[in-house]
């Protein structure tokens, strides 16, 4: 056995999970035997059994028994019911963070939902339950200089400035700064390579889009509503969207042909847009 760097059951499960995600271990194939896995990872068989139990609990293995190695399970069908953004994004981000190299690409109106959802995988990193080697976030948010489609005041009025736009800008900057700070803490505390880049969209996105490791796309539509917002001790009557209440629809490469095509085209579109936009976002 190679005992130089013994791995935990969670680390072994994460490595095998990534092999399944990458297609190195295909649906229906048997895993190597526990003895072979123990030899590969330099651990006792009991550690391997715990790792396999983690994968089985996640629904990634079938035919789990003592008699023969388990098989890679068919992916569970996605729920027909989309989830509210905060509820749906956090577990998907956590799953994405189990990969050795994490890449999250985002198009959004603000980073509020992302800021909240990323707290769960960051917490698991601090607890030692997740340990990616690198994390890269590329986030596209509307530029401060454009005329936003929303939020906008119900009554344009004739006063100086635009308090609705100024309020949105303060929120956008504060949320993005917290997101970047929370991700960079895992670099300072765990030595993980972290890169977080914001660029300025020249338009208001009608949807929010999250691309996770190029394997899954989560998309939600912004729905506008009229409501009152407090700003600087006064009430503003605005048309706006609550992004955290948007329903997220999931598309994965492991699903049918249409899902695979949507993920691939969404990633291609994002990459092209990212290369076209060269202006970094100003967060002050």
Residues in the chain: 284
CATH 3.40.50.300 fits 9-72, yes or no: no
Higher-pLDDT residue of 90, 140: 140
Contacts 24+ apart (CB under 8 A), 227-230: 229/151, 229/164, 229/167
Q: Flag whether pLDDT at 170 surpasses 90.
A: yes
For CATH 1.10.10.10, the residue range(s) in the chain are 9-72
Residue of 111, 113, 229 lying closest to 175 (CA atoms): 111
| Range with lowest mean pLDDT among 8-22, 187-201, 205-219, 262-276 | 8-22
Indicate the average pLDDT of the chain: 86
pLDDT digits (tens, 9 = 90+) for 116-166: 999 999 999 999 999 999 999 999 999 999 999 999 999 875 455 788 999
Is residue 93 very low, low, confident or very high in pLDDT (cuts 50, 70, 90)? Answer: very high
Mapped onto helix, strand or coil, the DSSP state of residue 269 is helix
What tokens does 217 get? 């796309």
Query: With contact defined as beta carbons under 8 Å apart, do 84 and 248 qualify?
Result: yes
pLDDT at 213: 96
Alpha helices by DSSP H, the chain:
9-22, 34-41, 45-57, 85-96, 112-117, 119-126, 163-190, 257-276
Q: What is the spatial distance between Cα 172 and Cα 12, in angstroms, rounded to a whole number?
A: 39
Is residue 189 very low, low, confident or very high in pLDDT (cuts 50, 70, 90)? Answer: very high
Distance of CA 113 to the CA centre of its chain: 10
pLDDT at 215: 92
What tokens does 49 get? 């059994």
Burial grade of 15 (CB within 10 A; 0-12, 13-18, 19 or more) = middle
Higher-pLDDT residue of 193, 19: 193
pLDDT at 66: 56
Phi, psi values for residue 169, rounded to 5° = -65, -40
Burial 125-158 (b: 16+ CB within 10 A, else e): beeebbbbeebbbbbbbbbbeeebbbbbbeeeee
Q: What is the spatial distance between Cα 148 and Cα 186, in angstroms, rounded to a whole number?
A: 34
Query: With contact defined as beta carbons under 8 Å apart, do 239 and 225 qualify?
Result: yes
pLDDT at 70: 86
| Range with lowest mean pLDDT among 56-70, 73-87, 106-120 | 73-87
Q: What percent of the chain has pLDDT over 90?
A: 49
Query: Does residue 151 have a cis peptide bond before it, meaning omega lies within 30 degrees of 0?
Result: yes
Angle between helices 119-126 and 85-96 in degrees, nearest 10: 40
Q: Flag whether pLDDT at 83 surpasses 80.
A: no
């Amino acid at each position: 056995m190679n005992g130089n760097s013994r791995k935990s059951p969670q680390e072994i499960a994460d490595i095998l999970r990534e092999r399944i995600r990458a297609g190195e271990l295909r649906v229906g194939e048997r895993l190597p035997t526990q003895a072979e896995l123990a030899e590969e990872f330099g651990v006792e068989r009991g550690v391997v059994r715990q790792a396999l139990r983690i994968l089985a609990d996640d629904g990634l293995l079938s035919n789990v028994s003592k008699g023969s190695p388990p098989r890679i399970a068919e992916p569970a069908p996605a729920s027909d019911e989309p989830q509210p953004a905060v509820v749906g994004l956090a577990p998907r981000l956590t799953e994405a963070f189990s990969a050795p190299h994490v890449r999250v690409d985002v198009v959004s109106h603000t980073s509020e939902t992302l800021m909240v959802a990323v707290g769960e995988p960051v917490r698991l990193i601090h607890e030692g339950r997740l340990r990616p080697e690198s994390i890269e976030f590329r986030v596209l948010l509307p530029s401060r200089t454009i005329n936003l489609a929303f939020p906008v005041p119900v009554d344009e009025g004739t006063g100086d400035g635009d308090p609705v736009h100024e309020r949105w800008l303060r929120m956008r900057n504060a949320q993005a700064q917290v997101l970047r700070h929370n991700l960079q803490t895992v670099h300072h505390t765990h030595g993980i390579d972290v890169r977080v880049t914001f660029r300025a969209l020249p338009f208001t996105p009608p949807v929010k889009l999250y691309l996770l490791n190029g394997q899954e796309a989560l998309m939600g539509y912004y729905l506008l509503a009229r409501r009152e917002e407090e700003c600087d001790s006064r009430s503003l009557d605005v048309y706006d969207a609550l992004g955290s209440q948007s329903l997220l629809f999931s598309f994965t490469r492991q699903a049918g042909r249409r899902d695979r095509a949507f993920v691939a085209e969404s990633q291609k579109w994002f990459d092209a847009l990212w290369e076209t936009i060269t202006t970094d976002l100003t967060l002050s």
